[in-house]
Structure 1
């Protein structure tokens, strides 16, 4: 599987992970900032949370790690949390904004 195909499969997996406070997946919420896969199948995921006090701060990164490890072609995973840039509603996809009534 090539890197782009692996990335697409990772995105599909991440769309099954939901923020416990919002009925939208973390990918469409805009919480995933970057997905990088190197030639050896090592996946670096850079993500944020909706707020530093998010109750899922401990569980979401673990769930992301577990889901990405399920993807064929991924040999290892590193999930990094960042607060820069700070997450805001404008980072949501149109689908997420519609679901949450922001459009």
Structure 2
């Protein structure tokens, strides 16, 4: 397994995690700020939520950890939740903006 292969598989898994209030995956929403693959394929993910008071924050984080941990080769996963910078609609992909009617 190469770091590039693992990164692709991680990103594929992250595209299956959806914000329950918005029918778009967290990658297209721009909620994932960074995926860092460290020594021994320990993965650190910096991400945010659409709102600091998101009632399903714990569920989303657990789903991210679970799905990334299931990627072959990944030894551990740490999700760092941050609100700096705060999420805005401008962080969404063009596809997500189109799907949600923001274009």
Tell me if TM exceeds 0.5.
Answer: yes
Q: Deviations over 1:31-88 (max 9, x none)?
A: 0000001130100001000001112111111110001011011000000100100000
Partners of 1:50 and 1:94 in 2: CA distance: 17
CA contact (8 A) 1:15 1:26 kept: yes
TM-score, normalised relative to structure 1? 0.97
Structure 1 residue ranges without an equivalent (≥5) = none
Post-superposition, which runs of at least 4 consecutive aligned residues in structure 1 deviate over 6 A? none
CA contact (8 A) 1:19 1:26 kept: yes
Question: Number of residue pairs matched?
Answer: 103
Partners of 1:52 and 1:75 in 2: CA distance: 29
Q: How does 1:2-41 map to 2 (within 5 A)?
A: 2-41=2-41
Partners of 1:5 and 1:98 in 2: CA distance: 29
TM-score, normalised relative to structure 2? 0.97
SS of the residue aligned with 1:77?
strand
Structure 2 residue ranges without an equivalent (≥5) = none
